[in-house]
Amino acid sequence: MFDSVPDDATAYVMGAYIFFLLMILIYIGILGLKFQRISRDIGELTDEVTADRALSPEGQPVANQPGEPEAGQSRV
């Protein structure tokens, strides 16, 4: 089917493809680690908010911390 014999250029092209594939796999691994860290942080924040709500009496709004906007207002 192919009459050409592989030469040095074929080895370089194959090496470039392998290098590119490795870079993509490393990039995906880094993104996966970031996603795990962010997911863990969100879980911890959710637990903190849930614990704060459990400590406040039902129906009573939690007092704002200094520097936080009032309910219904947004920071600009």
Q: How far apart are CA 40 and CA 26, in angstroms?
A: 21
Tens digit of each residue's pLDDT, the chain (76 residues): 556 666 778 888 999 999 999 999 999 999 999 999 999 999 999 998 888 777 766 555 555 566 656 655 655 5
Q: DSSP secondary-structure letter at 50?
A: H
Distance of CA 75 to CAs 61, 64, 68, Å? 19, 13, 8
